[in-house]
A and B are shown apart, each in its own frame.
Chain A
Amino acid sequence: MIKKLLDERWLRWIRRRRPLAQEITLSQRSTYIFPTRYGFLLLAIVFVMALGATNYQNNMVFISTFMVIAIGVIAILMTFHNLVGLTFSAHSPEAVFAGQVAHFPISITSQRHHQSIGVGLRNASLSFVDIVAAAEQRVEIAQLCKARGYQMLDPVRCQTIFPFGFLQAWAWLFFDVKCLVYPKPLKPETIEQSAGSSSGKESDTPVPGVEDFYGLRPYQPGDVMSRIYWKGMAKEKGLQTKEFVEYQSDPDIFSLSQFPSVDLEFGLSYLTYLVIEAHQDGRVFGLQLGEQTIAPQRGEEHMHQCLRMLALYKG
């Protein structure tokens, strides 16, 4: 309990001191080291050995004691340097929906070999990797994203007890990478017709298209050559352009006004569901949130644009 509390404070304290970055190279200043319980056991053993050696006036026991001390000292350097010099760079993961796990890719490189480096979030299991000089090693940090919006990568802990397990060296990595989190899609129970959109199937609103000839209009610069009504020119009616339209049902413009009596977050979740559903049906749809509007369109790009707006919408 106390340990957790201390950990929390410690983390906050370091966090204030470290700038966020996408690429972090561990220096001696940002790396910490402390004995593990086996380290303390070794200390106790060394103490008993030194006591015994003094009492028995036995120099070979002294030599053993000092060898163990020396190995311990070298272990401090080795454990420490097993971490120092590592370069971590984090990348933005693919967007996820709230409640899903985002996988933040982190690539690790170094000029040297490093063995048994554990990387992971606090209170989660670590991924252990070995780093070979100048070769890149990748790990993915899985982080649960609870709320829509941008989710920063939590402080990442990297640690090592190699070579002997007597000491643990660790460092906190504060990355400036975030994951876009779409609202969690929820199927709306009732949908009220919004004022601007009718769900009537046969509303004959023509939208520009390529299928049906609609009429002629005066030429405007930029009109495609193939659409120019050359015959009309021959009839000296001036330059005219043929207009084509597609007749289709009125496109849906999703908006929060469809869900007047629900909470904003629920509304956004419902809209998310509708957007995804509309995309899967291959329909054309638009989105209107407050003052922002996305004109009706279709396609993957369009859907992500809508989802993004939903993710970042501030009531």
Chain B
Amino acid sequence: MLILPESQRQVQSLLRIRLAIVQICVLLPIIFSLPLQFGVIIAFAPLWTIVRIHLKQSPMLGRWLLVAITVISAAAVWFHFGTFRGRDAGVSLVAVMYSLKILECRHYRDVNLLLTLAFFMLAMNFLFTQEIWAVFYLLAALLLITHTLMYANANDVSKVEVKKGAKILLYSIPVMMFFFVFFPRLSGPLWHIPSSQSAGTGVSDSMTPGDIGALHLIDEVAFRVKFLDASPEPGDLYWRALVFENYDGLSWTQDRRRNDIPLARQEAEGDVLRYEITLEATKQRWLYGLDLPVSTPPGTRLKSDGTFSAARRVEKRIRYRGSSVTRMPLEVELPPLSRTINTELPSSGNDEAKQWARETYAQFNDTTNYVNYLLRFIYEQPFFYTLTPPILKEDMVDNFWFGTRRGFCEHYASSFVYMLRAVGIPARVVVGYHGGDYNALGDYWIITQAEAHAWAEYWMEGKGWVRVDPTAAIAPHRVEQQLLNQVGLRNFLFDDLPVADFMAESGLNIAQLWLDNVNRAWQDWVIDFNQSKQFDLFNQLKPDSWGLGRLFGISVVGILLFLAVIAWRMSRSRESLDHVARSYLILTRRLAKKGFEKHHYEGPQDFVHRVIREKPQWSGELNPILRLYLKLKFSNDSAQFAKKHKQLRTMVKRVRLVT
């Protein structure tokens, strides 16, 4: 077969369809990660190609039309993002250009260009997701790309086997792992990355319960905790993040006056619980600790409100260690500033609540009794727990406490603190997470975004700050059933509810826990692998007496040996002819079982003919096999060979030889 120089070869329809499929494959996750209009633009070109070819029409567009589409698409990116820099804008632009390339793919060189760039586009997907499934997607996409490359470069496309591509990938994986472990890593980025516009999930730095009409429980993992010694009681799993001491009538925020005061050192009383937290990227600075932290990781500072934060925003998953004591007095001696901050209320608004609080407090004149009364009030009065509360605009506490009585933790914590401050008891809102799901396989706790929580703290003479969770006071039967169905993880809060207990057992099954284990290992060993882990690993891999150079040397020799083995395997003769001989051998064995031993002087033809003379009823089965065997053995027709030898094998296998 004579083949034209590559510049003159035209792209056939079948190849073009394959190219479109490769494009869709490498762009699919990007399409779903970008704003809708760019997803549509990106998907257009390959889908157009497939549809037009299917209709037996040319998918090519005129040059000027193509230029126009390209310019308009680029302009759309510019107007949407206002820039071509940054992850989303950059990826949009490149993906749009790449997808349009297929519309001007005329020659062989365009094909190879498109396929080579496919590797690059594929890698872009992982700027959006690094989940474990991504690695399987990567392998599948690579298989598709390599297969299509072979298809494009083969002389006879019918001989391009998927098996070959799979084998290449299989050989590639150890080489990739070698590079992954030994490729030198840097400790930080080479240049500043513009941060992406999407907001991080997690606890927010302010709380405005009245604004929220629907709270969506997000089942994403917030962080994972491994207790290094003992685990606390499930009821004590309050994860402290921020303390809101400033209330303007609508929103709770941190008080700036307190922000920089470090926590005075105090002796820890009770059992110190040490733990290791693996925190997902929050794009915020604050960190989480079990209520109440006593020591925090290096580089962070424990503040006087019992919270701590990192020096920089958490832009990627981090891991840190901390230790806490679950019941420890904080600020037993209340500084005057702290007292001032925590008894402040807006001078106007919520008059009814202020009035009610003062009258009620007058009945007890005692902090503990007053707090207990408030909790009982919540329990006895028709307060409901719901994620879709009515929106409260003015006099939020009045409206909630005496009117709607429907809300979630933020409403309860907010109103509760208001009621305490109204009578001069220092009180504040604490936000973080409550509860967690124990993973027995990995011996750690998973805390999801759905477990975000807000509770209250009030100050008592001689005891310091005391935690109180008004949400937990809601009578269990007034917690929305549907809510329990949505998330079975709040059982700690309403743990006298049988339904919740039931859900605790069945809510997460072994498979989910196992999956989370796998995910965690994936995150630990792959996603979080960095320079320091690399050095740790090197140190683990080598005996102490070795230098790093020796480890590198041995690894390089190892990978070269691996490649040498592959090369040796490639150079060995194998396959088809052996298959033909093997098929024939199988046939002779089967005939031998029927009593026809092949004499050493007999050729295949003599032997089979001898058998057929004695058993004419087998001729229908044996003759075609003999014909094909002789054809394969003595013909030079290589084009048919690969397929025919399989045919021979199946024929031999199917022989029944009924007597």
Select one of A55, A68, A130 contacting B159, CB under 8 A: A130
Inter-subunit contact A45/B120 (CB<8 Å): yes
- Interface residue? A274 (CB, 8 A): no
B117: contacting residue among A45, A78, A125, A128, CB under 8 A: A45
Chain B, interface size category, equals 35 or more
The answer, yes or no, to whether A163 is at the interface (CB within 8 Å) is yes
For A53, the chain B residues whose CB sits under 8 A away are 123
Interface residues on chain A, number (Cβ under 8 Å): 65
Restricting to B150-204, which residues have a CB under 8 Å from any CB of A? 150, 152-156, 159, 164, 168-169, 171-173, 175-177, 179-180, 183, 185-186, 188-191, 193
Tell me the nearest residue of chain B to A132, going by C-beta. Answer: B638
Chain B residue nearest to A73 in the complex (CB): B175
Across the interface, do B573 and A66 meet the contact criterion of CB distance under 8 Å? no
Interface stretch, picked from B134-142, B370-378, B536-544, B618-626, is B134-142
Distance between Cα atoms of A85 and B568 in the complex (Å): 12
B186 / chain A contacts, CB cutoff of 8 Å: 54
- List of A residues within 8 angstroms of B127 by Cβ: 56, 58, 61
* B529 touching A59, Cβ below 8 Å: yes
Instruction: Let me know if B175 and A125 touch, CB within 8 A.
Output: no
Pairwise interchain contact B183-A66, C-beta atoms closer than 8 A: yes
Q: Which residues between 553 and 611 of chain B lie within 8 Å of chain A, taking CB atoms?
A: 563, 566-567, 570-577
* A164 near B190: Cβ-Cβ < 8 Å: no
Q: List, in ascending order, chain A residues with CB within 8 A of B638's CB.
A: 130-132, 135, 137
- When distances are taken between beta carbons in the complex, the residues of chain B under 8 Å from A164 are 146, 149-150, 153
Q: A132-B576, A133-B576 are in contact. Are A85 and B571 (CB under 8 A)?
A: yes
A63 B185 Cβ-Cβ under 8 A: no
B179 touches A38 (CB 8 A): no
> Is A52 part of the contact surface with B, judged by Cβ < 8 Å?
yes
- CB-CB nearest in chain A for B130: A60
- A194 to B281: give the CA distance in the assembly, Å: 106
Known: A67-B172, A81-B570, A137-B636. A112 touches B126 (CB 8 A): no
Output the residue of B119, B122, B188, B563 with the most chain A CB within 10 A: B119
- Nearest residue (CB) in A for B142 is A67
CB distance from B150 to the nearest CB of A (A): 5
Contacting residue for B316 out of A57, A116, A137, CB 8 A: A57
Summarize B's interface: helix, strand, loop or mixed: helix
B284 within 8 Å of A by Cβ?
no
**Do A112 and B572 touch across chains, with their CB atoms under 8 A apart?**
yes
Contacts of B135 in A (CB 8 A): 60, 63
* Contacts A125-B3, A131-B638; A67 near B130 (Cβ below 8 A): no
| Distance between Cα atoms of A62 and B123 in the complex (Å) | 9
Number of A-B residue pairs, CB cutoff 8 Å, is 203
Please tell me if B51 contacts chain A, counting CB pairs below 8 Å: no
Contact of A129 among B155, B570, B576, B641 (CB under 8 A): B155
Chain B residue, CB-CB nearest to A134: B577
Query: Do A73 and B641 contact each other (CB < 8 Å), given the known contacts A45-B120, A115-B154?
Result: no
Q: Does A41 contact B (CB under 8 A)?
A: yes
CB of A129 within 8 A of CB of B1, answer yes
A127 at the interface (CB under 8 A from B): yes
> How distant is A157 from chain B, measured CB to nearest CB, in Å?
14
CB contacts (< 8 Å) of B126 on chain A: these are: 58, 60-61, 63-64
Contact at A128–B1, with CB atoms within 8 Å?
yes
Contact between A163 and B153 (Cβ–Cβ < 8 Å)?
Answer: yes
A114 smallest CB distance to B (angstroms):
10
Residues of B close to A74: CB separation below 8 A: 168, 171-172, 175, 566
Q: Is the CB of B571 within 8 A of A165?
A: no
Contact yes or no, A64 B159, CB < 8 A:
no
- Which of A64-84 touch B at CB < 8 Å? 64-71, 73-75, 77-78, 80-81, 84
| Residue A118 CB within 8 A of the other chain | yes
In the assembled complex, the CB of B6 is this many whole angstroms from the nearest CB of chain A, namely 9
Which of chain A's residues 111-162 have a Cβ closer than 8 Å to chain B?
Answer: 111-113, 115-118, 125-138, 161-162
**Chain B neighbourhood of A127, CB < 8 A:** 1-3
User: Smallest distance from the beta carbon of B318 to chain A beta carbons, Å?
Assistant: 12
Question: Are B576's CB and A60's CB within 8 A?
Answer: no
Tell me the nearest residue of chain B to A109, going by C-beta: B636
Check B123–A163 contact: CB distance below 8 A.
Answer: no
A56–B116 Cα distance when bound, in Å, is 22
Choose among B130, B150, B573 the residue that contacts A112 (Cβ–Cβ < 8 A). B573
Q: In angstroms, how far is the closest chain A Cβ from the Cβ of B160?
A: 8
> Is A14 an interface residue when CB atoms closer than 8 A count as contact?
no
Cβ distance B140 to chain A, nearest Cβ, rounded Å: 12
Please tell me which one of the listed residues B119, B573, B576 contacts residue A68 in the complex, with CB atoms under 8 A apart: B119
* Chain B residues within 8 Å of A113, by CB: 575-576, 642
Listed from nearest, the 9 A-B pairs whose CB atoms lie closest are A111-B573, A60-B126, A70-B172, A70-B175, A132-B638, A116-B155, A66-B179, A64-B123, A66-B176
Q: Besides the contacts A70-B172, A164-B149, what 10 more A-B pairs have beta carbons closer than 8 Å? A: A55-B190, A56-B127, A56-B193, A59-B528, A60-B134, A71-B168, A73-B175, A132-B641, A134-B577, A165-B149
